[in-house]
Structure 1
Amino acid sequence: MPKKRKLVLKRIVCAMGWTLAAGAAHAQSSVTLYGLLDGGLLYTSKTLNAATGQNAGHQFSATDGGMAPSQFGLTGTEDLGGGLKARFKLESGISVMTGGFNNSNGNLFGRQAYVALDSPYGTATAGLQFSPLFLALYGTDPRGFSQFGSGLELYVDNVLGTGAFNANGVSYTSPDIYGFRGSAMLAFGGTAGNFQAGRQYSASLQYENGSLLINAAIYSGNSGGTVNTPIPTTIAFWGRTLGTTYKFGIVTAKLQFVNYKVAQSFDSNIYSGGLDCYVTPQLDLNGGVYFTSDRNHTTNHSIMGALGATYSVSPRTALYAQVGVVDNHGAMDTGLSLNNALYGVQGTTIGTSVGIRHSF
């Protein structure tokens, strides 16, 4: 082979090597298995009899997700170069007590199942995902959406899985711009010729500056559509919230207003506040109070309060204890626990929850 041809071939091979090396660098990817298991014991002084609507007496039961939802999932990223990253998440809710589905809409990956594209201009996401309203509520809830004695019970009591698990969703979240971040989501109902059936949309705006965080969000969802899950996720309702948190030292104060207007049901205003304090890096104390009033009939109202303590025995394992009380009037049916005590009865109910939480 002539010397000149050998030189050209050598340069081509070298260029291909650099191209492959650059491609490998840009295509760096990772997949992570993660999860959280939470199990404990629950006591309530009163329990709703679903058949009669009356008090069935006190209960003492083993419960899944006493504080946090048990779950496992897969998440992955791929660096596409130029500031772009592709991401995915598949997340399933499970019960540590039965091994079945829980804390989701009842499907295999019924909590989250989406693919996303990150860029310097924001994040676009497609698939089953949490709504901006649900994320905003979580961000400023006085008790961090504990599954005992928090705003999460009030949310699920009103709309079940709607807004938490949004199928057929597409969303966009902006980057931080002078402390502001916005998010918008549209979920399609999937019914040909009827765009409004099962249609859901939500938007939020958050401002964060040092110790101060303020967020606001709205949600509008229609019934119907082709989405059919064991836990209903297309209840017709209108939701809105305004919340704030402020950190001073080891204490974080939280205030939140929420309105759930459910078709042919309650139009509930919820006012809540609470404090969270890390006494030590391992010990977290938390308390919150929630007042709910039905705007259609003010005789329907409730007040719920709860205190909790969490002690981290390791970076992945924690022990917790919670105590709460709820007082229902009129037709209000606020419960104390997402699992085993979602709905309550008239009068005062006292409850407590203790358990262990492990993440991996």
Structure 2
Amino acid sequence: MKKSLLALAVLGAFAGAAQAQSSVTIYGIVDTGVTYTSKAQTPAGGTNTGSKFAMNSGVIQGSRIGFKGVEDLGGGLSAVFNLEAGFKNDTGALDDSKSTNTLFRRKSVVGLAGGFGTVLLGRQTDFADTISAYTSVADFGGVVQNSGSALNRLQGTRTNNSVSYTTANLSGFTGNLMYGFGEEAGKTSGGQAFGLGGKYDNGPLGLGINYYQSKQGSTPADTSLLVGTTGQGVAASTGNTAAKVLNVVASYQFGPARVYGNWSRVKQDLNTAAATGLTAATRTTAATLALSQKADMYELGTAYSLSPSLKLLGSVQYTRADFAGLDGKGKLTQYNLGADYFLSKRTDLYAFVSNLRATDMKNPGVAGDTTGNDASQTAVTVGVRHKF
């Protein structure tokens, strides 16, 4: 009897050890807010404007459900995976702007991790998404995307068919390399992408830099180059450089206040006057950041912890954009104020007010809506976010 009990105890110990060596975690975010927008464009491309109330999912962070796991392979080596699906909490639909029915649109990777760092293969964001933690994206999320951070990749743009290597933390420094396969027969450069980035954390100081370049093709790795609802790129421009993006960010914690600033430059060589069809007469109604040949984006902001539960937020974004064949620069300026109150570590309430102004270009509108012919738009949002 004693031998049987001893055997059971040993088997139980081994089972517990085996279970500890492999784990799968289910996690997610549900983020939903109600937004009042002034001077929103009327339906069907109308030129009139009117106020609008709407419920939007993913105001600060995209609503999502994810699965991540790790298996201890021994010798300090682990197998890892991460699958993450985005959804719209206000409707329950998949959050898939390209309408390609992509289940794990946000992330789909598998790889190896150890003392050398981490290697991941699949669909993933480049390092601009990592260093966005030092910017207003960490506090305001999608509210600031239309003033430039969606174009400069700080909002988290995916690269398909990619492999990335991230170093281990080296005395505060972490580096990253990425390559995306264009998967085009007969032309390796068609649709390919690559990125190089790094960050440095030292107490209150945070610094980050990232460079990303992608080329057009029939199946571009850079998902920002996909058009329509087919998940395809522009085959006629195969192998031509379509996007060059540089981000430089910095953040410093002064007691209860975090202050930050950053600059990004985006060059889109394929955006020519012939391609966009822009004229001086249509500039203020059709010239968007996505059609610019070059854009410089600047930001300053702060997050002040008034108490352990309450943060007061403020930021300003300024963007200058050049359009092929047109003199002068289009300008966007966005002002944001907000408050974020944490009911617990996992649940918070937030309120934002933002004003976005455009000069010599179309006003894209504060996230979620667009303007008609008005150069200024204001949006007020209140919402709740829960993490699990």
Residue 114 of structure 2 corresponds to residue 119 of structure 1: yes
Q: Which amino acid is the alignment partner of residue 271 of structure 1?
A: Y
Residue 290 of structure 2 corresponds to residue 284 of structure 1: no
C-alpha displacement of 1:66:
2.1
CA deviations on 1:162-217 (whole Å, 9 max, x unpaired) are: 97111101010112223222101001111111212211111102122221111111
Residue in 2 aligned with 1:300? Answer: 330
3-state DSSP class of the match of 2:209? strand
TM-score by length of structure 2 reads: 0.79
Q: Which amino acid is the alignment partner of residue 246 of structure 1?
A: Y
Question: What pairs up with 1:189-208 in 2 under 5 angstroms?
Answer: 189-208=182-201
Selected match of 2:363 from 310, 333, 337 = 333
- Check 1:92–1:27 CA distance in 2 against 1; reply closer, same or farther (3 A cut): same
Residue 259 of structure 2 corresponds to residue 253 of structure 1: yes
Distance 1:355 1:162 in 2: 19
3-state DSSP class of the match of 2:60? coil
Please give the root-mean-square deviation of Cα atoms over the aligned residues, in Å. Answer: 2.9
TM-score by length of structure 1 reads: 0.85
CA deviations on 1:71-112 (whole Å, 9 max, x unpaired) are: 101111111121111111110010011111116765100100
3-state DSSP class of the match of 1:149? helix
- Check 1:335–1:135 CA distance in 2 against 1; reply closer, same or farther (3 A cut): farther
Distance 2:335 2:23 in 1: 43
* Cα pair 1:252 1:276 within 8 Å, conserved: yes
- Check 1:233–1:324 CA distance in 2 against 1; reply closer, same or farther (3 A cut): farther
Residue in 2 aligned with 1:217? Answer: 210
* Cα pair 1:148 1:353 within 8 Å, conserved: no
- Check 1:268–1:129 CA distance in 2 against 1; reply closer, same or farther (3 A cut): same
Selected match of 1:128 from 87, 110, 123 = 123
Aligned residues between the structures = 340
Residue 64 of structure 2 corresponds to residue 68 of structure 1: no
* Cα pair 1:143 1:288 within 8 Å, conserved: no
- Check 1:54–1:161 CA distance in 2 against 1; reply closer, same or farther (3 A cut): farther
C-alpha displacement of 1:160:
8.7
Residue in 1 aligned with 2:3? Answer: none
- Check 1:287–1:93 CA distance in 2 against 1; reply closer, same or farther (3 A cut): same
* Cα pair 2:139 2:313 within 8 Å, conserved: no
- Check 1:58–1:343 CA distance in 2 against 1; reply closer, same or farther (3 A cut): closer
CA deviations on 1:296-344 (whole Å, 9 max, x unpaired) are: 454310110111111111222211110000111112434211xx22677
3-state DSSP class of the match of 2:365? strand
Question: What pairs up with 1:238-249 in 2 under 5 angstroms?
Answer: 238-249=244-255
Question: What pairs up with 1:40-55 in 2 under 5 angstroms?
Answer: 40-49=33-42, 51-52=44-45, 54-55=47-48
Larger radius of gyration: 1
Q: Which amino acid is the alignment partner of residue 122 of structure 1?
A: G
Distance 2:127 2:208 in 1: 10
Which residues of structure 1 form unaligned runs of 5+? 1-13
Q: Which amino acid is the alignment partner of residue 139 of structure 1?
A: A
Residue in 1 aligned with 2:85? Answer: 92
C-alpha displacement of 1:159:
7.4
Distance 2:20 2:301 in 1: 45
Distance 1:258 1:242 in 2: 6
C-alpha displacement of 1:55:
4.3
Distance 1:344 1:25 in 2: 61
CA deviations on 1:217-257 (whole Å, 9 max, x unpaired) are: 11111122336684969693111011100011111110000
Selected match of 1:168 from 161, 165, 170 = 161
Residue in 2 aligned with 1:31? Answer: 24
Which residues of structure 2 form unaligned runs of 5+? 1-6, 221-225, 235-241, 272-290
Question: What pairs up with 1:136-151 in 2 under 5 angstroms?
Answer: 136=131, 138-144=132-138, 146-151=140-145
Q: Which amino acid is the alignment partner of residue 185 of structure 2?
A: A
Post-superposition, which runs of at least 4 consecutive aligned residues in structure 1 deviate over 3 A?
20-27, 48-55, 103-106, 158-163, 227-235, 295-299, 342-346
Residue 343 of structure 2 corresponds to residue 350 of structure 1: no
Residue in 1 aligned with 2:295? Answer: 268
- Check 1:204–1:232 CA distance in 2 against 1; reply closer, same or farther (3 A cut): farther
Distance 2:97 2:52 in 1: 24
Q: Which amino acid is the alignment partner of residue 166 of structure 1?
A: T
* Cα pair 2:60 2:143 within 8 Å, conserved: no
Q: Which amino acid is the alignment partner of residue 318 of structure 2?
A: F
Distance 2:34 2:160 in 1: 33
Distance 2:145 2:177 in 1: 22
- Check 1:105–1:201 CA distance in 2 against 1; reply closer, same or farther (3 A cut): farther
